Amino acid sequence: MTEEKKLNQSLRVLNLAVGFVAALISITACSETKIEVPKSNEAKDNIKAIEVAQVTKTTKAVELTAVIAEDTLAEIKGRDKIVIGVNTDHTPFGFLDSDGKNAGLEIDIARRVAEEILDSEKKVEFVPVTVFNRIKFLKEGKIDLVIATMTDTEKRRQEIEFSENYYSSGVGLLTKQDSEIKSWEDLKGKKVCSIENAFYNEKLAYMKIETVNFLRASEAYKSLKEGLCIGFAYGESGLVEQLQNPEWSQSWHQPLEPMLQKSWGIGVRQGDDKLLATVNDAIFKMEAEGFIVEGEKKWNIPSTTYAQDRMEEARGR
């Protein structure tokens, strides 16, 4: 008899025992006659057996997770391919080009990681992920890594590990090229389009910047063009994507250093120490070579001091 069948049989016996005891208690409560309940250790024994079985199953699950994490790097080398979760709709970081192929700064980074591990940037399989499933896919072993504009936060570190941070994004401002806005202070007392309940609205209010809030970015972009606001305060990476469109790039720009910046990291399963170390080495090499700084130019991303500082730091290691 399998362990599962034994466990199910024990549960049935326990349920019968509990039902029998409940019935006796009910009869005793309704009658003046005292009924002696035979003392039996069968229920206790069954409970103990179930607890032992549950502990054993939990221990095996924990051990299995540890094995998976510990062997990921070896597994990647064994199958001669690395599987990486990436964005497919986040131009210019991770998207599908006109031929339906993965492209973008993070796709280039993913290929370099593959080259570091398998000596070939071609030995990589890209799996589309979203904000809602990327960590889930990683924990379930459907992918080996996540490289998808993922902010490194304490909350996420409770579920996964993060590599060395390779990029940073914050809140930027999209405004006309002739607006003469050169600092966030220049926006004091002016109207700026924003998103309803955006976390950065409080900061803008503190800076005495008046916000005109919208439920959707598309509405904010439309109102910006109509002149309702002098600029649109929004996630920097989203503005970068908008500026890939010639309709916007000809007359609009992001003139300010983004504020409230948060760093991105590559997601790795917890306990995957060998793979994490290898990924970190690949990041340091890329940064020292100026790969990410050059990548910004390649994908028409405004140059960031973050990437520049990381390059200098890596070269000094």
- pLDDT tens digits in sequence order for the chain, 317 residues long: 444 444 444 445 444 444 544 444 444 444 444 434 444 455 455 545 445 455 454 444 444 444 455 589 999 999 999 999 999 999 999 999 999 999 999 999 999 999 999 999 999 999 999 989 999 999 999 999 999 999 999 999 999 999 999 999 999 999 999 999 999 999 999 999 999 989 999 999 999 999 999 999 999 999 999 999 999 999 999 999 999 999 999 999 999 989 999 999 999 999 999 999 999 999 999 999 999 999 999 999 988 999 999 999 999 98
Domain ranges in the chain are 3-70, 80-165+265-315, 168-261
pLDDT of residue 317: 84
Same topology for domains 80-165+265-315 and 168-261, yes or no? yes
pLDDT of residue 52: 47
Q: CATH topology for 168-261?
A: D-Maltodextrin-Binding Protein; domain 2 (3.40.190)
C-alpha–C-alpha distance, residues 165 and 262, integer Å? 10
pLDDT of residue 68: 52
C-alpha–C-alpha distance, residues 264 and 135, integer Å? 14
User: Which class in CATH covers the domain with range 80-165+265-315?
Assistant: alpha beta
pLDDT of residue 67: 40
